[in-house]
Amino acid sequence: MKNKNNILLPKGQKILAKMGENIKLARLRRKLSAQQISERAGISRATLWNIERGKESVSMGAYFQVLSVLGLEKDFLKIACDDILGQKLQDLNLVNKKRAPKK
């Protein structure tokens, strides 16, 4: 079975690279080696290396496992939590209910 290659736009690549850099800095601040993190997360060191470089080929589950080991799993909940555009679009489609006529 062929592996599909997803093309990520440059803006997305920069965001993932920044996220990978942040994960690496969090690991270094905790003075944990790549070997320790990869063992605790149940991933290979190569996968951790790809996460820290923001590679799009790594699964979200692997990113989550690393964040969990670092104690940052709640940061995963911040993804798309403030969907301002979506809320505005939803508000436009809300129907105003008219009052019932008085008897």
Nearest of 91, 100, 41, 102 to residue 70 by alpha carbon:
41
Helix ranges, 2-103 (H): 10-29, 34-41, 45-52, 60-69, 84-92
Domain-by-domain residue ranges, the chain?
10-92
Instruction: Quick: pLDDT tens for 54-73.
Output: 999 999 999 999 999 999 99
CATH architecture of 10-92: Orthogonal Bundle (1.10)
pLDDT of residue 7: 79
Question: What are 7-40's pLDDT values in tens digits?
Answer: 789 999 999 999 999 999 999 999 999 999 999 9
pLDDT of the residue at 101: 72
Q: Are 59 and 70 in contact (CB under 8 A)?
A: no
pTM score, whole prediction: 0.76
pLDDT at 1 over 50: no
C-alpha neighbours within 13 Å on the C-beta side of residue 55: 13
